[in-house]
Structure formats: C-alpha cells, structure tokens
Amino acid sequence: MALTLKEEDAADWVYRGEGAVNLVLAYAGSSPSFIGKVIRLRKAPNNGLESNGVSVRNSIALTPQERILWKNVDQLISSSDKEIVGQLYVEHVMKPLLGSNYVDAGMHILVTREFLELVEKNVTGQRPVWRVDAARVDTECDFGLLMSDHSLFAYGSPRPSPCISVEIKPKCGFLPFSRFISEGNAIKRRTTRFEMHQILKLHHGEISRLSEYNPLDLFSGSKERIQKAIKGLLITPQNNFRVFLNGSLILGGLGGVAKNTDVCIAKKFEDELKSVIEVDDGLCTENLLTLVTEALQKSGVLDKLLDVQKLDSIDIEGVIHAYYNITSEQCMVCKELSEEQAKIYASLHSASFDESLRIVKDYLIAATAKDCSLMLCFRPRNEEDSGMVYNNVYLESTKQAFDFKVYFIDLDLKRLSKVRDYYELDKKIVSRYRQKIKLDRGRKEVTGLEACNGSLPATGIAVVEQM
Ligand SMILES: O=P(O)(O)O[C@@H]1[C@@H](OP(=O)(O)O)[C@H](OP(=O)(O)O)[C@H](O)[C@H](OP(=O)(O)O)[C@H]1OP(=O)(O)O
Ligand SMILES: Nc1ncnc2c1ncn2[C@@H]1O[C@H](COP(=O)(O)OP(=O)(O)OP(=O)(O)O)[C@@H](O)[C@H]1O
Ligand SMILES: [Zn+2]
C-alpha cells in the first residue's frame, strides 16, 4: 500500500459525519489521490467494551465461530489480514446481493497514530456531544477505509457540477411473518419495528418526538406512498435523512439525530435548494421530493434492498435457537419455557449444524441491509454530459433534466456475538410498545378522548405543505 496518511495530512480532512462505529472525514485538500474521497475511521467505545462485553481490540478479526459461520465465503476466511475482513464482506457478500453498480467497498489506506490523534482533536467540536462521550477515534487502528464521496458527482467529469445529495437510512421495510413469533408478540406482525422502536427511543430521551416516517411507505413501490415517506423524513429526519448541497449538510443532523423540521428550518432549506433547482419560490422542496421518488423508482434499489432484508425470514425469535445450536450452548430461551411452549422451537433445535449456520448467516446479512443507508446524488444535466453513463430524471415543472447516481453506504458486517443483544432489544421494544398501547387504552377509557402518542402529525405535515 503506497499511501500513508501522516500528521501533516490531518488538516486536509474535515468532519463529514459518524455513526455508532465509524467516523467519516471528507477530503478538503488538493492532492489528486484524495479529491472526491472520504475516509472512514473506526471508533473505540470509551468504556473499552462492546455492548456485549467483548473487548474492542479483539473484535476486528473474525472469531473462530465466525470463521465457521462464513466458511462458504472463501475470500473472507482465507484472508490472513484481519483488518481487511470488513471490506471483503462488502465486496463478496453484500455487493453480489445488492448489485455492483450500487456498492463501493472502498480500499484500505494506512494512517499513523499521529494522524488519528490530530484529526480527532480537530473534529471534536463538530461531533455531537453524546457521540464524543460514547466513543473516540480508535488510535490503535492503523488503517482507514478510503471511499468515493457519494455526496458529490465524480471528479474527472467535464465540469464541476453543483449537486444535491440525499441520504436515507430506510431501516426494515417489511412486517415479519415468521411462525416463530410468539402469541404475546403478535403485534410485530402488524406494526413496524421502526414505529415500535420509536416509543422506546422516546422513552429513553433519544428522540424528542415520534417520527412521521413509515418504512412500509418507502418500500411500497407506489409513487404516492414513497412521496409520503419522504415527506415524513423531511419533517422528522432524526438519523434517517440528510441532504447535502455540494457536500455540505443543509438538512438533518451531522453524526446523529437531527432537530425536527420547523418552519424556520424548512424556509432555509428551500432557499438553499434554489441554487440547483430552478423554480419559483416555495417549490424547490416539492421538486426535490419528486426527484428522489423518481430516482428511487427508476433505480429499483429499494426492491433489491428489501429482498436482502427478507433473508431474515424466521425473525430473531426463531434465529436465537439456531444461534444456540451453533455456539453449542444451552438455549437460554427454551430454558425459561415449559415443555409444551418449547415444542414450537423443537424443529429449529433439531436442524442440522449447516442449516443452523445458514439461518444465522442469512439473519446477519439481513441485519446489515436493515441498517445501511442510501445516498442519492443529483446534478442538473447539460449538453456536455449527453454522452455520460448516468441515469437521469426529468423535472416536468422546471423543464430540467438531472443525472443521478445511487450508492449504498454502511454495509458493515454484523457480529455473531450481537445475536443475543438483538433478541434482548426485540423483547424490550415490543414490551415498551405493548405497555404504551395499554396506557393509551387506559387514558382513552378515562377521558373518552384519543390518547396522545407524542407525535404531531397535523402540525408536521403543515410545515412541509408550507415549503
Ligand atoms: O438495532 P437498531 O435498529 O437500533 O440499529 C442500530 C442503529 O440504531 P438506529 O435504530 O438506526 O438509530 C445504530 O445507529 P445510531 O448509532 O443510533 O445512529 C447503529 O447503526 C447500530 O449499528 P452498529 O452498532 O453500527 O453495528 C444499529 O444496530 P444493528 O441492529 O444494526 O446492529
Ligand atoms: N462514501 C461516503 N460518501 C459520503 N458520505 C459518507 C460516505 N460514507 C459515510 N458517509 C457519511 O458519514 C456518515 C457516517 O457513516 P457510516 O454510516 O458509515 O457510519 P457508521 O458508524 O458505520 O454508522 P452506523 O451507526 O449506522 O453503523 C453517514 O451517515 C454519511 O453521512
Ligand atoms: Zn431454544
């Protein structure tokens, strides 16, 4: 590997965002090798432990059990370089499933400890405080992942293009249908995991109001419902929606949960869009909505993503039993059940070892697909671009054609050790949601009025209608 980022390079990298695991910097310097690139750096939790108590330093390489789990993916297990596993997973597992046109696995690049320390110092002020408290740049890690900046149009194109990019974290787009969902959790078959999780997040103070977004609308394939979903994202972006203008954030929260979109934010956003969408006052946001909807429909990426999400076909309530089969531990779920209750899972416990591996592997792949994001990037098309390979959409109202490109980002491998956490979180989400329904019913009986769930749909929609 020829290039190494050193202390003197740190000033060229600016904060772009972060999630739970990675911090992302965009290049702002003049080296041709890095123009149009971002670098993803691993973070280390400040308590030194992952949520399940595993030491972070051991968590990069595949564990022996994971090597068995992924044994059919030769490229993953034959790699002697533990640090490359994450990238190989994207290249050899996710890319074939989601389509090579939409996935960029990036490349590893070496970084010195001094580079990481200085970068961390430079960006701390821009990071959400709770993210700073939770984790820091992992200065023990001597590599980063260099990727194309998907919020920009490729460098090397004939002209510098103004562009708008939209980042969507769609989350799970279907209702589970597994027969292993217990009677007590039947609500899961009718209510999205996203909607139920909102109640838990509100309870924990992670969000200030419930989201207007419904993943089922986004994945519906219907133009009207996709538009409704995007309106919901515009009103309550949380960590599900961001918009960038020429690579700079103009809506949503950098690195975390955004403020809800009030009239003031909506007006400012509308004004920013004017530099790319040529239309009379008040209609830019509406037009962006049309662009995004059409690009999503034309590209077909959501159908692909949904198919991969549906590899989770028996739900965590089934998967957990296969997990205990492959770890050869006593099943902690069946242990708590009566003989009669445990019967429903007997078929899972009598499955072959390979079948158990397949179940868990498919579930983890689906988990990646439920947590990734999409970046859609648009630029107005002109004559010079007529020979270019990009897809395009036409805005009837402004008579403008736009090139667009779509990429999945954050296709990280989910670790085997998280399966137990997934089971526990699922229980918490359902239990909190059921509690809320019970409370609402109680209130309704007392007051005879509709219970208030904390969301303000009418007000929220009005904000977008005013845009
Ligand atoms: O479990 P979920 O659905 O809450 O997803 C987690 C995300 O929370 P969200 O609900 O999208 O705000 C969570 O996102 P935030 O940190 O909340 O922005 C992470 O993406 C986490 O993945 P990992 O720890 O990076 O592997 C995600 O965990 P996984 O379940 O994908 O492992
Ligand atoms: N290739 C890219 N081009 C442009 N922006 C990017 C790219 N990769 C990441 N980003 C930005 O950086 C942010 C954080 O990246 P990413 O989602 O990969 O972090 P993460 O820690 O893996 O997230 P999560 O918590 O969801 O696991 C993204 O939300 C996006 O805004
Ligand atoms: Zn069991």
DSSP 275-333: TTS---TT-HHHHHHHHHHHHHHHH-HHHHHHHHHTT--SHHHHHHHHHHHHHT---TT
CB of 249 closer than 8 Å to CB of 243: yes
- Do residues 169 and 138 both lie within one domain? no
Give residue 387's pLDDT. Answer: 61
- Do residues 209 and 289 both lie within one domain? yes
- Do residues 341 and 370 both lie within one domain? yes
What is the band of 278 on the pLDDT scale with cuts at 50, 70, 90? confident
- Do residues 109 and 242 both lie within one domain? no
- Do residues 181 and 138 both lie within one domain? no
Q: Model confidence over 310-323: pLDDT tens digits?
A: 999 999 999 999 99
Q: Model confidence over 228-248: pLDDT tens digits?
A: 999 999 999 999 999 999 999
- Do residues 145 and 174 both lie within one domain? no
Distance (Å) of CA 194 to CA 139, 189, 214, 242, 281: 34, 13, 8, 18, 34
158 in any annotated domain: no
- Do residues 124 and 229 both lie within one domain? no
Could you tell me if the CB of 252 is within 6 A of ligand 2? no
d(CA 243, CA 170): 14
Q: How many domains does the chain have?
A: 2
104 in any annotated domain: yes
- Do residues 212 and 108 both lie within one domain? no
CB of 312 closer than 8 Å to CB of 363: yes
End-to-end CA distance of the chain: 49
Question: What is the whole-number distance in angstroms between the Cα of residue 68 and the centre of ligand 2?
Answer: 29
Q: Indicate if the pLDDT at residue 98 is higher than 50.
A: yes
Could you tell me if the CB of 61 is within 6 A of ligand 1? no
- Atom 32, ligand 1: residue with shortest CA distance: 414
Beta bridge partners of 393: 402
Q: pTM higher than 0.80 for the full model?
A: yes
Question: What is the whole-number distance in angstroms between the Cα of residue 350 and the centre of ligand 1?
Answer: 32
272 in any annotated domain: yes
363 in any annotated domain: yes
Distance (Å) of CA 305 to CA 263, 339, 345: 33, 38, 29
* Final residue in a domain of this structure, among 149, 176, 193: 149
Question: Which residues crowd ion ligand 3, with CB under 5 Å?
Answer: 321, 331, 333-334, 345
- Atom 12, ligand 2: residue with shortest CA distance: 17
> Judging by beta carbons within 10 Å of its beta carbon (0-12, 13-18, 19+), is residue 168 exposed, middle or buried?
buried
327 in any annotated domain: yes
154 in any annotated domain: no
Please tell me the number of the ligand nearest to residue 351's CA.
3
Q: Model confidence over 374-416: pLDDT tens digits?
A: 999 999 987 666 666 778 898 888 888 999 999 999 999 999 9
Q: Model confidence over 344-371: pLDDT tens digits?
A: 999 999 999 999 999 999 999 999 999 9
Amino acid identity, residue 170?
P
- Do residues 128 and 173 both lie within one domain? no
- Do residues 62 and 121 both lie within one domain? yes
CB of 35 closer than 8 Å to CB of 153: no
Amino acid identity, residue 12?
D
Please tell me the number of the ligand nearest to residue 417's CA.
1
Q: Pairing relation of β-strands 107-111 and 143-148?
A: antiparallel
Question: What is the whole-number distance in angstroms between the Cα of residue 53 and the centre of ligand 3?
Answer: 23
Q: The domain spanning residue 64 has which CATH number?
A: 3.30.200.110
d(CA 61, CA 116): 21
What is the band of 84 on the pLDDT scale with cuts at 50, 70, 90? confident
Give residue 447's pLDDT. Answer: 73
157 in any annotated domain: no
Pocket test for ligand 2, best of 24, 50, 153 (most atoms within 8 A of CB): 24
Atom of ligand 1 nearest to the CA of 422: 30
- Do residues 171 and 136 both lie within one domain? no
Could you tell me if the CB of 38 is within 6 A of ligand 2? yes
Could you tell me if the CB of 43 is within 6 A of ligand 2? no
d(CA 103, CA 446): 53
Provide the angle, in degrees to the nearest 10, between the axes of the packed helices 284-299 and 223-235: 130
- Do residues 335 and 412 both lie within one domain? yes
160 in any annotated domain: no
The range of the structural domain enclosing residue 102 comes to 4-149
Could you tell me if the CB of 19 is within 6 A of ligand 1? yes
d(CA 405, CA 378): 7
